[in-house]
Amino acid sequence: MTKPKKILITGVAGFIGFHLAKYLIKKKYQVIGLDNMNNYYSVSLKKNRINILKDLSKKNFNFFKLNICKYNNFSILHKFKIDYIFHLAAQAGVRYSLEQPQKFIDSNITGFLNIINFAKAQKITKIFYASSSSVYGSNKKIPFEEKDRTDNMLQFYAVTKKTNELMASTYSKLENLSIICGRFFTVYGPMGRPDMAVYKFALRILKKRTIQIYNRGNHFRDFTYIDDLVVVLYKIMNKHLSIRDRKYFNIFNISSGKKCNIEKILKLLEFNLNKKAKINYVNRQKGDMIGTLGSNKKLKKFISKIPITKYEKGIRLFTSWLLKYNKKF
């Protein structure tokens, strides 16, 4: 197996893209990172992530502020001989997709098509891209398995992610592309997204603001710690590179495989922040999944071993970072 020299990461200023880029740069890969730096959440946090990557290596990291919705923008990348693509860029936000569906069409569907066309034009044959546990929608069978139905989604974000899966499956055959899809399950950790539950709850506890708990606390999630996810992505890439089938397509859940009630996360945050949460229990919100839990048996067969950080440790590491990052608390 030949080690890839140059890796393209879209959404590199995002939470997962940043951590993956950091990991690969430390392993001496050359990372070419793209991001449009939109203001869906804190642009300053995104800039901080990029600055950390630049400080790590000015030689092994190239960053381009680029909108993947416009194919002509990709011409700036033609000088690089890219060996592998991690496509992580997407318009995020389950509830936001109900308000601004066009943004999700542009970024998640048109943007993904542009990535495929770019790979085809540059003869890049191997792509990993991020899907989501939200494609399982209202499925009641737990844990979710990759073979389960995914035609009963609850919000438009999930629809765009399922569309990506269908596009990838079709284009892998039409264009001789080898594509792997990872269905991510609620990723959390340092430098995370402020709109996600763990970060959002922690900030509200620190600011002594009320936390709205939907579905009266009966939600549960399969939370995945960021460092675990990054190691899994690295292992997937290495295994993917050894597969010779040019028309390969596969889907994997990437999860901890551990069910966790939202209230347990709140208690861990309270303990680590040494502050009590103000809680208001409300009804379930439109588009919310009641629970997510992913089977990772298929993934284990593919990469053998999956790192799993216990929630107690993961929340401790996250809150430790948060208190340092937000020193005003």
pLDDT value, residue 68: 97
Distance CA 202, CA 205 (A): 5
The secondary element (H helix, E strand) that includes residue 224 is: strand 224-225
How does DSSP assign 49-83, residue by residue? Answer: HHHHHHHH-SSSEEEEE--TTSGGGGGGGTTS---
Whole-prediction pTM = 0.95
Taking alpha carbons only, the member of 162, 145, 144 closest to residue 153 is 162
Residues pairing with 86 in the sheet: 9, 128
Residues 94-104 pLDDT 10s = 778 888 899 99
Residues 227-277 pLDDT 10s = 999 999 999 999 999 999 989 999 999 999 999 999 999 999 999 999 999
Is residue 251 within 8 Å of 146, Cβ to Cβ?
A: yes
Look up 157 and say whether it is catalytic. yes
Provide the residue count of the chain: 329
Distance CA 228, CA 300 (A): 13
Domain annotation for the chain: domains and CATH numbers: 6-189+223-257+292-308 (3.40.50.720)
- Averaged pLDDT, 289-313: 95
Residues 151-179 pLDDT 10s = 999 999 999 999 999 999 999 999 999 99
Q: Give me the catalytic one of 29, 136, 157, 311.
A: 157
pLDDT value, residue 177: 96
Phi then psi for residue 243, to 5 deg, are -85, 125
Q: Is the pLDDT of residue 144 over 70?
A: yes
Task: For residue 293, name the pLDDT band (cuts at 50, 70, 90).
Answer: very high
pLDDT value, residue 128: 98
Q: What is the average pLDDT value for the chain, to the nearest integer? A: 94
Taking alpha carbons only, the member of 75, 102, 92 closest to residue 131 is 92
pLDDT value, residue 3: 63
- Averaged pLDDT, 24-53: 96
How does DSSP assign 150-183, residue by residue? Answer: ----SSHHHHHHHHHHHHHHHHHHHTT-EEEEEE
DSSP conformation class of 215: G
pLDDT value, residue 2: 56
Residues 64-108 pLDDT 10s = 999 999 999 999 999 999 999 999 999 988 778 888 899 999 999
